[in-house]
């Protein structure tokens, strides 16, 4: 079986963008791939954060994975920091990462601009190297992510190729290794629909955990009345009828796309059904569809979060399996890079 890995940061609440861009797709992919899904807590400290909340947020995120339908008989769920090899491999990879590659990252530029100089730690710059480590450690074939991760994925691929060229192949064989490629070069799996869910208050910005206004996103755990209220107040336009793909109507396209994904209908069906609708009618439909879709997830979440022993067991089992794969890769990288074997 081919392997996939992916993760979400335990910062803020998981929202519809994380769900439609990533987690929802994991549920179907776990049937066809060997899957590892982790909570990327080490990434969550790249901007100032509250240490008292990190562990709770990490467990809540794990519970959301389970509540959304990750099945532990098919996939492993673990916490990134529980597998020490992530940080170790990152150091090795960082020795071969040109600083220029990192300076070019759009997410670094945007986040550092927003955070201000005092809050920009080295880890914000080196974040993509840790992400490369997360992926390459598991010799992953594919990485299901939203479109915002495209550039980081490209860097991961370039880094894998660079390390393979620098230390792999015959050179490695001469040193007593197995030779060949050290890392598999992974590919992103970006969904056709849902790859970029936009903010409810601005159809040109992506829905994001760090946006200051909670009105801009639907969190997976938002209560019914909050969802209804956010949809009621979300930004629309004054055109008549509703349509996809009109560049002058980014909010309309976004809300129809959300409706399409959440109801599991085709784009054509939604376009036909909604073409003559007014905003009032559509907003009620959309809010009801979201509430219906999220309700069972919220019920399962409450069950899981109130059984900490079960959750700890899932995370321990996941970390044990992940450590086995990760350590094997890490050992071969140490060997190929010329370190003394233990």
Residues near ligand AQP, by CB under 6 A: 8-9, 11, 17-18, 21-22, 40, 145-146, 148-149, 195-197, 206-210
Helix (H) or strand (E) holding 76: strand 75-79
Nearer to ligand AQP, 182 or 222 (CB): 222
Phi, then psi, of 47 in degrees rounded to 5: -125, 160
Q: Is 111 a catalytic residue?
A: yes
Residue nearest to ligand AQP (CB): 21
Q: Is 209 a catalytic residue?
A: yes
Pick the catalytic residue from 111, 184, 235, 321: 111
Pick the catalytic residue from 74, 171, 209, 224: 209
Nearer to ligand AQP, 11 or 335 (CB): 11
CB of 91 to ligand AQP, least distance (A): 21
What is the SS3 string spanning 200-248?
A: CCCCCCECCCCCCCHHHCCECCCCHHHHHHHHHHCCCCCCCCCCCCCCC
Q: Is 114 a catalytic residue?
A: no
CB of 178 to ligand AQP, least distance (A): 32
CB of 278 to ligand AQP, least distance (A): 26
Pick the catalytic residue from 24, 59, 206, 283: 206
CB atoms under 10 Å from CB of 253, counted, come to 18
Nearer to ligand AQP, 144 or 168 (CB): 144
Kindly report the length of the chain. 342
CB of 198 to ligand AQP, least distance (A): 7
Helix, strand, coil fractions of the chain, as percent rounded to 5: 60, 10, 35
Q: Dihedral through CA 206, CA 209, CA 212, CA 213, nearest 10? A: 80
Nearer to ligand AQP, 263 or 331 (CB): 263
d(CA 69, CA 23): 9
- Strands across the sheet containing 75-79: 75-79, 34-39, 3-8, 142-144, 187-189
Nearer to ligand AQP, 197 or 234 (CB): 197
CB of 340 to ligand AQP, least distance (A): 36
The set of catalytic residues is 111, 206, 209
């Amino acid at each position: 079986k081919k392997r996939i890995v992916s993760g979400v940061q335990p910062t803020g609440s998981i929202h519809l963008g994380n769900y439609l861009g990533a987690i929802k797709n994991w549920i179907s992919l776990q049937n066809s791939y060997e899957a590892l899904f982790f909570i990327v807590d080490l990434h969550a400290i790249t901007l100032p954060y509250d240490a008292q909340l990190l562990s709770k947020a990490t467990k809540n995120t794990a519970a959301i994975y389970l509540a959304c339908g990750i099945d532990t008989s098919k996939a492993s769920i673990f916490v990134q920091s529980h597998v020490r090899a992530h940080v170790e491999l990152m150091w090795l990879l960082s020795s071969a990462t040109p600083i220029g590659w990192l300076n070019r990252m759009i997410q670094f530029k945007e986040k550092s601009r927003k955070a201000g100089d005092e809050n920009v730690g080295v880890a914000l710059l080196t974040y993509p190297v840790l992400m490369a480590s997360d992926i390459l450690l598991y010799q992953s074939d594919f990485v299901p992510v939203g479109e915002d991760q495209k550039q980081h994925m490209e860097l991961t691929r370039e880094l894998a190729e660079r390390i393979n060229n620098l230390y792999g192949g015959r050179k490695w064989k001469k040193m007593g290794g197995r030779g060949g490629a050290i890392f598999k070069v992974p590919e992103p799996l970006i969904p056709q629909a849902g790859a970029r869910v936009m903010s409810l208050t601005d159809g040109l910005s992506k829905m994001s955990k760090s946006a200051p206004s909670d009105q801009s996103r639907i969190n997976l755990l938002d209560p019914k009345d909050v969802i209804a209220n956010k949809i009621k107040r979300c930004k629309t336009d004054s055109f008549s009828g509703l349509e996809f793909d009109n560049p002058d109507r980014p909010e309309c396209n976004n809300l129809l796309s959300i409706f399409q994904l959440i109801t599991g209908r085709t784009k054509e069906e939604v376009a036909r059904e909604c073409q003559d609708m007014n905003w009032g009618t559509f907003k009620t439909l959309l809010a009801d569809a979201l509430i219906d879709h999220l309700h069972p997830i919220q019920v399962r979440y409450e069950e899981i979060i109130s059984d900490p022993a079960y959750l700890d067991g899932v995370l321990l089992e996941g970390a044990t399996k992940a450590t086995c794969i990760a350590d094997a890769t890490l050992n071969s990288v140490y060997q190929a890079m010329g370190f003394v074997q233990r």
